[in-house]
Amino acid sequence: MYDEKVYSQINDIAKELKDDCLKFVQKLIQTPSISGDEFKLTEVLIAEMEKLGYDDVSRDKYGNVIGIIKGDEEGPTIMYNSHMDHVDPGDPNNWEGYDPYGGKIDVCECDNADRTVKEMVECIHGRGASDVKSGHGFQIYAGAILLKLREQGVKLKGNFMYTGVVHEESGQNGGTRRLIKETFPERGLDFDAMVSSEATSLNLYLGHRGRIEYLITVYGRTSHGSCPQNGINAIYKAIPVIEKIRTEVIPNLPKDPDGEVEQASISLNIIECSPGALSIVPDQCFLSYDRRTMIGETEDSAMKILQKVLDDIAAEDPEFKADIQVKPCIDTCYTGEVMEGYKFTEAWKIKKDHPFTQACSKALENVGQPVKYGYWSFATDAAVTAGHYRKPTIGYSAMQEQFAHTPYDKCRTDFIEKAMAGNASIFLSASEMKKEEFTALDF
């Protein structure tokens, strides 16, 4: 058992390393890494871990980065996961004077952890500050805390593993899926539990809904735009589809029986048509739907609800033709590797009484942090570890969900210091668990 002195040291070391961690996060924000263009960021990540003294630092064929701190004694491997890609910053004029790639640190107004009060606090700004450049910083520097403890004679159990993954934002969780399915077996690696850096406001997050992107294609027939009566306008044929989903499907989507995760949802996010020329009546209309699913729903079961809409309209309109599919996803990695899949993410939960959840809760208490629980609105790579592989998984992060993908992208620096300490403490607490306590998730 690690004694109270060790946990007290964690907070002291976090305070000591805070400035170095913030400079590192600044470098990360100043290094653009849109999906498929993460190479320069990997160079920064690898250099930092080598400087800090990680025992093993490497990159796989897809461009994922792995950093390992090996324990002095046998024990579990706890994986800390952050995605390296970020979304486009959009119009720089919306950033209220901040450079999206500036990494500026200043005192500004920001929410407290519960979003009940606005406070004037120090924050770091820029694209990815909340999704998830700060996450790389406090996870890698949690490892730095462990290395400092090791220098002071603390015997570490098990292995601390950091993974920076490609292509999370593109929708198929391709980097994490290939890392676990291919890279780990090839290198003789495995893990017992995972900690995600996705935004949680220093709470422990226990799950999220699944995500599926559906493409509905409604068919018509072209004609000259001057004689629309000679064609069948696919856009007009798509209108009943949009209305039926809005008025009949959305109100009846399933809810979480425990009332913990948000209700399932569906959102029409993209409408396109073909041929897409001014003088041609379109013969195809494409509707892209973002469907958030509950545990127990599958691609097929969720699709059947939408297929019924199409079937009902076809029964009333002999000219109506349409089909539906899960949108395919082809991601080209910066290494040249191509990842083919589908826009699909699993739903998952971990129970509050799961031994790993309890170990994480105890860890936060050990470094003087309150323990509160939550669930993400959005989907994360935790869907792979927890939803697909059923490995114990937790979200714990300094970042705040409301700033992700916005021009107000920022992270509180006081939260970054706390997350460094909290993540290091989680490793120590989880490393004392017995192998049989890392039970598969049951939901």
Question: Judging by beta carbons within 10 Å of its beta carbon (0-12, 13-18, 19+), is residue 215 exposed, middle or buried?
Answer: middle
So what's the pLDDT on residue 2?
87
Q: pLDDT 10s per residue in the chain (443 long)?
A: 788 889 999 999 999 999 999 999 999 999 999 999 999 999 999 999 999 999 999 999 999 999 999 999 999 999 999 999 999 999 999 999 999 999 999 999 999 999 999 999 999 999 999 999 999 999 999 999 999 999 999 999 999 999 999 999 999 999 999 999 999 999 999 999 999 999 999 999 999 999 999 999 999 999 999 999 999 999 999 999 999 999 999 999 999 999 999 999 999 999 999 999 999 999 999 999 999 999 999 999 999 999 999 999 999 999 999 999 999 999 999 999 999 999 999 999 999 999 999 999 999 999 999 999 999 999 999 999 999 999 999 999 999 999 999 999 999 999 999 999 999 999 999 999 999 999 999 99
Residue 280, both tokens: 């041609």
The answer to whether the CB of 124 falls within 8 A of the CB of 103 is: yes
Question: Judging by beta carbons within 10 Å of its beta carbon (0-12, 13-18, 19+), is residue 237 exposed, middle or buried?
Answer: buried
Q: Domain 211-330 falls in which CATH fold?
A: Alpha-Beta Plaits (3.30.70)
The answer to whether the CB of 430 falls within 8 A of the CB of 360 is: yes
Q: Domain 4-208+347-437 falls in which CATH fold?
A: Aminopeptidase (3.40.630)
How far, rounded to the nearest angstrom, does the alpha carbon of residue 390 sit from its chain's CA centroid? 17
Report the alpha-carbon distance of residue 31 to residue 209 in Å, rounded: 31
Report the alpha-carbon distance of residue 440 to residue 417 in Å, rounded: 31
Residue 131, both tokens: 């999704």
The DSSP element (H or E) to which 66 belongs, if any, is strand 65-70
The answer to whether the CB of 235 falls within 8 A of the CB of 282 is: yes
Question: Judging by beta carbons within 10 Å of its beta carbon (0-12, 13-18, 19+), is residue 123 exposed, middle or buried?
Answer: buried
Sequence ranges of the domains in the chain = 4-208+347-437, 211-330
Report the alpha-carbon distance of residue 324 to residue 326 in Å, rounded: 7
CB neighbour list of residue 62: distance below 8 Å, 6 or more residues apart? 166, 174, 175, 178, 179, 183, 333, 335, 337, 339
Report the alpha-carbon distance of residue 331 to residue 149 in Å, rounded: 40
Q: Are strands 157-165 and 410-412 parallel, antiparallel or unpaired?
A: unpaired
Strands (E), 294-417: 321-326, 328-332, 338-342, 344-345, 348-349, 373-374, 393-396, 410-412
| 158 backbone φψ class: left, alpha, beta (φ>0; ψ -120 to 50) | left
So what's the pLDDT on residue 90?
96
Domains 4-208+347-437 and 211-330 share a fold: no
Report the alpha-carbon distance of residue 392 to residue 438 in Å, rounded: 7
- Residue 291's CB: how many other CB atoms inside 10 A? 25
Report the alpha-carbon distance of residue 20 to residue 42 in Å, rounded: 18
So what's the pLDDT on residue 3?
86
Place of tokens 């809810």: 255
So what's the pLDDT on residue 248?
98
Report the alpha-carbon distance of residue 403 to residue 398 in Å, rounded: 12
So what's the pLDDT on residue 165?
98
CB neighbour list of residue 435: distance below 8 Å, 6 or more residues apart? 76, 192
CB neighbour list of residue 24: distance below 8 Å, 6 or more residues apart? 44, 48, 137, 140, 141
